[in-house]
Structure 1
Amino acid sequence: MPHTPPPPRHRANAKSMRKVMTDAELKLWNELRAHRLMGLGFRRQFPIAGYIVDFACPEKRVIVEVDGSQHGEAGRAGADKARTKRLEQYGWIVLRFWNDEVIRDIDNVCQHIVIAAGLAGPT
């Protein structure tokens, strides 16, 4: 898929979202940034296919979304499912973790990311 520059509005949204990360997003970012997780290069608040994803590793085509409780509501869950489907149609692997999961068990979250990126097998 060729890269198409995101609209200026999306770029501005992504930039502002980088400044107001949740505690869970910040904790995960500290594990992902600067190629800290098995050398994987992640970008945060990255525009893809009309969406702004929490974290993306373009090289391995892995997206990581960190969701709060509002994502469990019926209407939001359906929208998330449609979003995931569209991103997968573009060839991305989409992983979703709850905020609480990231806060309580960051090691397991990172292990899932490494497996999805194809750098390790399941244990």
Structure 2
Amino acid sequence: MSERTLSAPETCCSTLTGDPLSVEDAQVFARIFKAIADPTRLRLVSLVASHEGNEACVCDLIDPVGLGQPTVSHHLKILVDAGVLHREKRGIWSYYSLKAETLERITTFLSVS
């Protein structure tokens, strides 16, 4: 499945109480919401967001969620694929940060104004 980028012009215009979602936008939002609906993945997003500099190494996320590295990496991949997190490889470690544009689009969409 190809990843769809959420652009800034879309962010400002589509709200829950505005125009109905297109089929394509509904699929994009469903993928994002499905990714963050899992308690472990929601916790990972929170951990990354609250970490210093709003980014965290995968090695910093293993102990707080109480799961092994392969399981944590699997959850992080789902979040990256859904466009919630960004991954940057540095040496042997991967660092994760929030994709602000995706979170802004979710916030805008869920607003009632």
- TM-score (normalizing by structure 1): 0.28
Larger helix fraction of residues: 2
Larger fraction in strand = 1
> Looking at CA atoms only, which structure, 1 or 2, has the larger radius of gyration?
2
Q: Which has the higher contact order (CA 8 A, sep 6+)?
A: 2
- Taking structure 2 as the reference length, the TM-score comes to 0.29
